[in-house]
Chains A and B, each alone.
Chain A
Amino acid sequence: MRIRLKVWRQESREAAGRFETYDLDSVNEHMSFLEMLDVLNEKLTLEGKEPVAFDHDCREGICGMCGFLINGIAHGPEKGTTLCQLHMRHFQDGAELTLEPWRAKAFPVIKDLIVDRSALDRVIQAGGYISVNTGSAPEANIHPVPKDTAEKAMDAAACIGCGACVAACPNASAMLFTAAKVSHLGLMPQGQPERMQRVKKMIAAMDAEGFGSCTNHGECQAVCPKEISTEFIARLNRDLIRSALLLTRV
């Protein structure tokens, strides 16, 4: 296959960026998208140019490290797929693809296709956990958890924290990411004691990091490689209202 790539190149956070065009003429359709970029980078290196910087690690769709826009779509055209699991057989011979980093105020570009997503870590640090010290756990089977509840919590917990939801959202909101964690922990019996505090603190942190607010566009669910549902956002909103009521009453 022949593929033409227009790639966003940016030296550093401060530098101005620009697109560069590269042509690859012997792309194998069984390659993953990132393997195709490996081939490009080998070529650039041998030509004495700087390879394209992009984040990746597991290449199995689970670490959440990879991610950029292909023709404006986070993780590219395949539904429910991270970039590292996207294969070239899904593209046409001769395709022209524009690659850009996540665009969001809270995710400054570090280099080329790499952005700084540490804001997501800080949202978790604000309360995305259950406060239990090592050693103080009760016997594991003491709280039965209905199978359906555990499955639902797992649906939410499957989030890989890649940031595609933010990149796709017209408001650059991190609502789906935050809602997934709030829902995972809020569904489990172990997460109940801190449930109302947690949602408030995480939303406050999300706002403080410069993420926008959610106005129900639903673009996040459409690009989420783990297909996490916006119904968790509704859940979060219910918790948020309840927490406002409960916490003001005290």
Chain B
Amino acid sequence: MSEKIRATAPDGPIETRWERRRFEYKLVNPSNRRKYTVIVIGSGLAGASAAASLGELGYRIKVFCYQDSARRAHSIAAQGGINAAKNYQNDNDSIFRLFYDTVKGGDFRARESNVYRLAQVSNNIIDQCVAQGVPFAREYGGTLANRSFGGAQVSRTFYARGQTGQQLLLGAYQALSRQVAAGTVTIFPRTEMLDLVVEKNRAVGIIARNMITGEITRHAGDVVVLASGGYGNIFFLSTNAKGCNASAAWRSFRRGAFFANPCFTQIHPTCIPVSGDYQSKLTLMSESLRNDGRVWVPKKKGDKRPPNEIPEEERDYYLERRYPAFGNLVPRDVASRAAKVVCDAGHGVGESGFGVYLDFSEAIERLGEETIRQRYGNLFHMYEKITGENPYRTPMRIYPAVHYTMGGLWVDYDLMSTIDGLFVAGEANFSDHGANRLGASALMQGLADGYFVLPYSVPNFLATAGHSEATPDDPEFLSAEREVEDRIRRLLSINGSRTVDSFHRELGMVLWQHCGMARNRQGLEEALKRIPEIRAAFWKDVKVPGSAETLNQALEKAGRVADFLEMAELLCRDALEREESCGCHFREEYQTEEGECRRNDEDFAHTAVWEFAGDEKPPVRHKENLKFEYVKPSQRSYK
């Protein structure tokens, strides 16, 4: 194990670990706080909540985001809801149960101490958001409403129609705006971080590009918080916003931050299928739909009859058949894989054959169209807009799509990476979801990190390590700036014959095929051969129009895709080395007779933690061994 990988969670009873750690943390005198500068990359739930909270404490904060406003971070798109262990429904939920479900749902590949803390602070999040005025759904008596989500057997999900992410983000954005008015926070919109500056293994600042003028700027700070989101867009097609990227995290990896479990990517079962090769992104249909929709395919291969003409006995409700206990509500990884199995066997529907039906006819018959409209009206509306089909009349067609990345920069219990003073929050870190994330827990984690962990752990670091003496004129800043400028110049000067998107699509296809829902040695080795070829072709033949000194969206994309082309190899390498199946990571060689994941706890009950070793050498794989003291690893069963 590397020296640098120490999880730093206290021992002892899990219920008091966080409290004890907080007590150990050092404090910063209020009058000294404004002398510290905290750089926050990202204004999503994690970044905005951290920046607002640290601003309230009196630190000087600089927030960066690539959109034109902090309010547009990708968190805005989350639909379904946010979990908390309030037990408002009296259905016997508890902090321990949320903790247990999350560890088990992650297929025993997450760190117990972190997950327990997440469950503990989940309740504070709801309190905070309500106080900010987030208009959560209510019962007739005025109390908060909940729904069950993503296969949980308790109703612990809080929601605001189908726009929970939007409302939570606006709450955090408003708190952030208040700090802008108070003078503690400065926001740099349309400004992209292109590199991290490190001096003596401490993060001391960033290099950024003003996306309007093209100006490259150096920013020094005492701490850098990365809350730059996930890397799902590496697959080209995903449910992520078009601008979501891995660059901030990847550049930090190259500067010495270790990367954990890069191959853990979540494929969401209910998305609108691909309809053509011009397709630019995939749209998620909230998984709450599975509460009332039944998933099926025709029993006969290649059956092209319209769904309404296929009689009941010729339909295979394969989730209900294979998992009688959970039926249509099995966790995401299980549902996605099952869809792939039936489509690969030739039962898929729609033009491409990569789709399954999600059918509401029975629910409409039982509950009436009005009830279904109340529950899912906006989702049905969105589906109809995109596909031109009316889901009240004909079943939806859905297929799995890349959605979320459990992998991310490795962090310790304080959310600090292997670079001192570089903290990582939200989807950008690897921390809490193991090999599979449960529905409605990403919003919870982003806000837990930002509202309730970083505001204690960042000051502790500052009180311990003191001011960074670095200035933007240090040689480290100047050389990082030069590297950024050189790279931009290089991208613009190739002037080849292919667009950035064409390379991105090609990379995405390779990853989807070999490192998607099912993986095997041969395919991964093939991908590891193909990716360097695509990368080489990119650097020889890409065409990036325009100049560096203006707004140039092709250039922005080119930089991000160049990073994806490097990172893709790490994904495949990680998937190759993990010789077991767990959660989202399904290695075909390691499955049970029924085609389920066969975990190998003996050899792989650890987090894979990768260290950059230079462009010429393969990265080094370290391990953080996982201890399970409270939740005994078992074979997940949803039968």
A30 touches B276 (CB 8 A): yes
A64 to B143 CA separation, bound complex (whole angstroms): 30
Chain B window 447-467, contacts with chain A (Cβ cutoff 8 Å), 1 for yes, 0 for no:
000011001000000000000
B12 at the interface (CB under 8 A from A): no
A39 touches B551 (CB 8 A): no
Number of interface residues of B (CB under 8 A): 80
Q: A85-B385, A130-B132 are in contact. Are A117 and B554 (CB under 8 A)?
A: no
**Beta-carbon nearest neighbor of A162 in chain B:** B72
A3 at the interface (CB under 8 A from B): no
B127 at the interface (CB under 8 A from A): yes
B386 at the interface (CB under 8 A from A): yes
B551 touches A60 (CB 8 A): no
* Contact residues of A: prevailing secondary structure: loop
**Beta-carbon nearest neighbor of A61 in chain B:** B382
Q: A35-B278, A117-B69 are in contact. Are A141 and B499 (CB under 8 A)?
A: no
Residues in A whose Cβ lies below 8 Å from that of B137: 150
Residues in A whose Cβ lies below 8 Å from that of B551: 12, 53, 110-111, 114
A145 touches B275 (CB 8 A): no
B68 at the interface (CB under 8 A from A): yes
B135 touches A184 (CB 8 A): yes
B138 touches A145 (CB 8 A): yes
Q: A63-B72, A117-B69, A120-B69 are in contact. Are A146 and B52 (CB under 8 A)?
A: no
A121 to chain B, nearest CB (A): 5
B180 at the interface (CB under 8 A from A): yes
A147 to B175 CA separation, bound complex (whole angstroms): 25
B340 to chain A, nearest CB (A): 24
**Max chain A CB contacts within 10 Å: which of B70, B129, B132?**
B132
B189 at the interface (CB under 8 A from A): yes
Interfacial residues of chain B within 115-162, with CB under 8 A of chain A in the complex: 124, 126-133, 135-144, 160-161
Chain A window 149-189, contacts with chain B (Cβ cutoff 8 Å), 1 for yes, 0 for no:
01101100110110000000000000000000000110010
B520 at the interface (CB under 8 A from A): no
Residues in B whose Cβ lies below 8 Å from that of A38: 278, 280, 501
A124 touches B174 (CB 8 A): yes
A16 at the interface (CB under 8 A from B): no
Residues in A whose Cβ lies below 8 Å from that of B452: 134
B401 to chain A, nearest CB (A): 13
A245 to chain B, nearest CB (A): 24
**Max chain B CB contacts within 10 Å: which of A42, A57, A144?**
A57
B553 touches A137 (CB 8 A): no
Q: A55-B68, A121-B69 are in contact. Are A129 and B127 (CB under 8 A)?
A: no
A238 to chain B, nearest CB (A): 19
B142 touches A128 (CB 8 A): no
Interfacial residues of chain A within 84-138, with CB under 8 A of chain B in the complex: 85, 87, 89, 110-111, 114, 116-118, 120-121, 124-138
Of B215-223, B431-439, B542-550, which binds chain A? B542-550
Residues in A whose Cβ lies below 8 Å from that of B131: 130, 132, 136-138, 140, 190
B188 to chain A, nearest CB (A): 11
A42 to B546 CA separation, bound complex (whole angstroms): 13
**Beta-carbon nearest neighbor of B550 in chain A:** A12
Of A43-51, A68-76, A213-221, A229-237, which binds chain B? A43-51
B135 touches A137 (CB 8 A): no
Residues in A whose Cβ lies below 8 Å from that of B52: 134
Give 28 CB contacts A-B under 8 Å. Answer: A32-B386, A34-B280, A38-B501, A46-B499, A50-B546, A51-B553, A57-B72, A58-B241, A59-B241, A59-B280, A60-B77, A110-B212, A111-B551, A121-B187, A121-B189, A127-B181, A130-B174, A140-B131, A141-B143, A150-B137, A151-B138, A158-B163, A184-B133, A184-B135, A185-B133, A188-B135, A190-B133, A191-B133
Which residues of A does B touch, CB under 8 Å?
A: 11-12, 28, 30-32, 34-35, 38-39, 41-42, 44-46, 48-51, 53, 55-65, 81, 85, 87, 89, 110-111, 114, 116-118, 120-121, 124-141, 143-147, 150-151, 153-154, 157-158, 160-161, 184-185, 188, 190-191
Q: 5 shortest A-B CB distances, which residue pairs?
A: A144-B142, A129-B174, A137-B131, A137-B127, A134-B53
